[in-house]
Structure 1
Amino acid sequence: MKRVFFLALLCMLAATVRAGELPPFEGLIEPRETVNFGSQVPGILEKVMVERGEKVEVGQILARLKSGVEAAALRTAEAKVDFGQRKSQRNEELTKKKLISMHEKDEIETELQLARLMVAEAKAQLEMRVIRSTIKGVVVKRTGAPGGYVGEEPFLTVAQIDPLSVELVIPVQYIGSIKEGVTAKVLPDEPVGGEYSAKVVIVDKVIDAASGTFGVRLELSNPQFRLPAGMKCRVFF
């Protein structure tokens, strides 16, 4: 009975709040995503192409590992393909004239296929020594430098700040008052200031019992990267 009464009380509170105006809420402007970049394979950094604070695009090369051995393996595999193709062409006429057996022809074609597979594998090995960004954002941390040894441990961090996420922690009395899709005004603290429009994209369905709160996330467009992440703000619904 107590549980039923508590749920009924929450519903009444929500209805009351919806009928009036919500107060402003304190929030935090955060990156949409933060990605730490290491290397799939261990090795020595040959070059790091970006600096802290630099904007990067999806697919942009962030760093390269030394890859002399892998590059040589690719050249060798490509040479084998070239040789196999020439050999196949030379033997085409011999096959038509039945001067070589079908078994020999099959061996030549198989050797060529294997050489092409070696090229594909060598390219994959070479590509694994190139670190590319998986998001559009800004470099927020760089610890690697040319000549340094790297592995799976991150040496670059990129943050996506378009769009930004505005995180709110709302008292449980306002449950049901904020719904996904509604817009709100976001006022960053000084010295940034200004007023921006954001849309609610997540309303937590689970209440934190210890604090009596639930989380809300808004999406804030930031195409010119003018707004920095990490700032406090006020949000008005």
Structure 2
Amino acid sequence: MSRPRPVTIRQLPMAGVVLLGAALAGCNSEKAAAPPPQQQAQVSVVVLRSKPVAISAELPGRVAASLVAEVRPQVGGLIKSRQFREGSEVKAGDLLYEIDPAPYQAALDSAEAALARAEAAVPNAQAKVDRYRDLIRQNAISKQENDDAVAALAQARADVASARASLDTARINLGFTKVTAPIGGRVDRSTLTPGALVTANQTTALTTIRQLDPINVDVIQSSTNLLKFRSAVAEGRLRFTGPNVAVKLKLDTGAEYAQTGKLEFAEANVDETTGTFTVRAEFPNPDRLLLPGMFVRAVIQEGIAENSFLVPQRAVGRNTKGEATAKFVGPDGKVEERVLATSRNVGNNWLVEQGVKDGDKVIVEGAQLVRAGQTVTGNEVTIDEASGELKAANRQAALPAGQAPGQTAKN
């Protein structure tokens, strides 16, 4: 009995081929239609906590010497010598210049002789008055002669007083030939050299002395900021730290000055043109790093904002109305977008007055990849204020650049 031969596709009727193809296509379409399991988007979040925040203002300022003295001669003559090194430190009373004293020494000698002559006339006039006192009692002389003797004695005493004053003037002028430093500080270059002729109280200063330690910084503040500050204090939003306000400096290079200054005073008038007023701070300057005329930025601590929230600037954007917005991960894991009321920046953060509460989780990385209402996984991180790097909250390890938020530590 012969075996039946296998039937090939070519031998099947056309209808069978069509049904077989449809069955195979159905199996393939079922495999293609099964999507892979979709994972939730992962974002990095920072947990917000209320805390006291020190409010400071960074303002432009100029360095100014605490004391300035322009040295001018008080008598005329030839400069005999210069006794200081230009650019050095001098103390009050140090000799700077010496003017030829010869004519003033001669004037002093003449004044001394005039005083001696005036003093010599007094005893003779006094003796004459004493004799006339006895004679007038005896009516031996007239009353007019006695009055003349008394007047001559008074004139002689007045001549002594005048001669003594002239002597004092001559002695002072002789002392002025030695030009001394009125204050201590750093002395500038000399405008004149030995041999130059100077006059009393001339317009050109011989040199200038500036006291550099301590040194002042004049800061320009707007009257608008002052009104806002006082309003915040009055409403209780800001606690004033007291009269001893600390001031820090940022140099023109961006470096921070090591010494801390204190606020000295604020002007009592506002410039009508600019609407600003000047605030002066005083700083120690032992190394003479600060020099008059330098441009600096002063960081003045205005007060303490109690129970405040700081939101990282990298988490805040703007909507079409220009309002500040940020995305948060809610308790249900869904993204929600809120409008924030920001008042000022504090470092790399915004000080937010409305729109947040304690424990909120604000998205600081990955916000552009998610939308409101979407369920996400929030990985808690912290931000290094100095470098801006993200760190996993539970490991305090910096996240490498370009690492996906999903690779951070989970809550």
CA distance in 1, matches of 2:257, 2:189: 28
Tell me the distance in 2 between the aligned counterparts of 1:147 and 1:57. Answer: 25
Which has the larger displacement, 163-172 or 185-194? Answer: 185-194
Q: Which runs of 5+ in 1 are unaligned?
A: 1-18
Q: 1:170 to 1:119 in 2, by over 3 A?
A: same
**What corresponds to 1:157 in structure 2?**
208
One-letter amino acid of the structure 1 residue matched with residue 290 of structure 2? P
Any unmatched runs of 5+ in structure 2?
A: 1-52, 132-148, 231-241, 302-411
* 1:129 matches 2:163: no
Pair 1:211 & 2:279 matched = no
Aligned pair partner of 2:84 in 47, 50, 74: 50
Change (3 A) 1:46 1:193: farther
The TM-score, its normalising length taken from structure 2, stands at 0.44
Cα gap change, 1:112/1:199 in structure 2, threshold over 3 Å: closer, same or farther?
same
The 1:199–1:112 alpha-carbon spacing in structure 2 relative to 1, beyond 3 Å, is: same
Q: CA deviation at 1:175?
A: 0.8
Structure 2 counterpart of 1:124, one-letter code: I
Q: Tell me the CA shift for residue 143 of structure 1.
A: 0.7
Using the alignment, how far apart are the partners of 1:66 and 1:192 within structure 2? 50
Identity percentage of aligned residues: 22
Report deviation, 1:87. 10
Partner of 2:289: 227
Contact 1:141 1:158 in 2 (8 A): no
- For residues 109 and 41 of structure 1, the distance between their equivalents in structure 2, rounded to whole angstroms, comes to 30
Q: 1:21 aligns with which of 33, 50, 55?
A: 55
The 3 A distance-change label for structure 1 pair 34 and 192 is: farther
Q: How has the CA–CA distance of structure 1 residues 135 and 180 changed in structure 2, closer, same or farther, with 3 Å as cutoff?
A: farther
- Cα shift at 1:192: 7.8
Q: 2:99 aligns with which of 55, 65, 75?
A: 65
Q: Which has the higher helix share?
A: 1
Equivalents in 2 of 1:192, 1:77: separation in Å? 62
Q: Does 1:183 align with 2:234?
A: no
Distance in 2 separating the partners of 1:180 and 1:41: 46
1:166 is aligned to 217
| Cα deviation code 1:22-65 (max 9, x no counterpart) | 23223222212322222223322112222321112223222121
User: Contact conserved, 1:187 with 1:196, CA < 8 A, in 2?
Assistant: no
1:144 corresponds to which of 184, 192, 196: 192
Alpha-carbon RMSD = 3.7
Structure with larger Rg: 2
- Superposition TM-score, scaled by structure 1 size: 0.70
Matched length: 217
